[in-house]
Amino acid sequence: MDQTVHERIRRDITDNDVVLYMKGTPVFPQCGFSAAVVQVLSHIGVKFKGIDVLVDPALRQGIKEFTNWPTIPQLYVKGEFVGGCDIVRDMFESGELVPFFKEKGVEVPENV
Amino acid sequence: MAMDAGEIERLIRDGIPDAVVRIDDLRGDGDHYAAYVESPAFAGKTRVQQHQMVYAALRGQMGNELHALALTTVVPKA
């Protein structure tokens, strides 16, 4: 794997508590799966950094190798890979997602 | 390039022999599927690990030939 991409990913997931590798941006997701995760994160009100893989082919391939996960979106919390769209949605629907963020020390608004 | 539902099911069963597998073609276009996979082999694994087992069974097709697969993995109730 491209070492530069590898290092960039490591830096992004270290410097930011919640990182979503996605297609498009949080404001304009370019894929339904990415849009679904943005919707969940926005709904629970957690702050996250969205990184658009469509603008960087090396990153788009690099993140799949880095995580050993074949699809995008990919959610990282405190440097740990949480999952893709299906897992995030499952965790949200089963009520595990908010406690998970709190357990990780990520701020979640109380009114949710 | 699209994949046929039967082929997806066959690959998952080959990779996880005791699995109960159900495939739904979400849009009827042979490109967007939902897979329900239930197997005792998932016991004690995280969701990420369970999904990775299914992806491994699909031998690199996921994200390539297989564009979109909504995946649900379940450990059977004892």
Q: What is the DSSP string of chain A?
A: --HHHHHHHHHHHHH-SEEEEESB-SSSBSSHHHHHHHHHHHHHT---EEEEGGG-HHHHHHHHHHHT--SS-EEEETTEEEE-HHHHHHHHHTT-HHHHHHHTT----TT-
Mean pLDDT of B8-28: 92
Q: Which of A68, A85, A87 sits opposite B47 (nearest CB)?
A: A87
Residue B1 confidence class, pLDDT cut points 50, 70, 90? low
Average model confidence (pLDDT) across chain B: 89
Instruction: For residue A91, give the chain B residue with the closest CA.
Output: B47
Q: Which pTM value belongs to this model?
A: 0.89
Q: What pLDDT sits at residue A36?
A: 96
Specify the range with the lowest mean pLDDT, choosing from A5-9, A31-35, B13-17, B66-70: B66-70
- Using the predicted structure, report yes or no on whether residue B2 has a pLDDT greater than 80: no
Token readout for B16 is: 């996880």
Query: Whole domain around residue B17: which residue ranges?
Result: 5-74
- Distance in angstroms (rounded) separating the CA atoms of residues A105 and A110: 14
Token readout for B20 is: 């109960």
| Percent above pLDDT 70 for chain B | 97
- Distance in angstroms (rounded) separating the CA atoms of residues A70 and A85: 12
C-alpha distance from B67 to closest chain A C-alpha (Å):
9
Please indicate if any CB of chain A lies within 8 Å of the CB of B8.
Answer: no
- Using the predicted structure, report yes or no on whether residue A1 has a pLDDT greater than 60: no
Q: Which of A33, A68, A90 sits opposite B47 (nearest CB)?
A: A90
CB A85 within 8 A of CB A39: no
Residues A90, B72: C-beta atoms closer than 8 Å:
yes
Instruction: For residue A84, give the chain B residue with the closest CA.
Output: B48
Q: CA angle at residue B65 from B29 to A81, to 5 degrees?
A: 110
Q: Which of A71, A83, A91 sits opposite B62 (nearest CB)?
A: A71
Residue A111 confidence class, pLDDT cut points 50, 70, 90? low
Please indicate if any CB of chain A lies within 8 Å of the CB of B68.
Answer: yes
Cα–Cα nearest to B42, from B75, B77, B76:
B75
Q: What pLDDT sits at residue B60?
A: 81
Specify the range with the lowest mean pLDDT, choosing from A42-51, A62-71, B20-29, B45-54: B20-29
The torsion angles phi and psi of A13, rounded to 5 degrees, stand at -80, -15
Compute how many other C-beta atoms are within 10 angstroms of the C-beta atom of residue B8. 23
State the greatest distance between any 2 C-alpha atoms of chain A, in Å, as a whole number.
43
- Distance in angstroms (rounded) separating the CA atoms of residues B43 and A10: 30
Please indicate if any CB of chain A lies within 8 Å of the CB of B57.
Answer: no
Q: Indicate the number of domains in chain B.
A: 1
For chain A, domains (ranges, CATH) are: 3-104 (3.40.30.10)
Q: What pLDDT sits at residue A103?
A: 95
Q: What pLDDT sits at residue B4?
A: 87
- Using the predicted structure, report yes or no on whether residue B56 has a pLDDT greater than 60: yes
Q: Per residue in A15-36, pLDDT tens? A: 999 999 999 999 999 999 999 9
Question: What CATH number should be reported for the domain holding residue B50?
Answer: 3.30.300.90
Q: What pLDDT sits at residue B30?
A: 77
Cα separation of the two ends of chain B: 39
Q: What pLDDT sits at residue A40?
A: 97
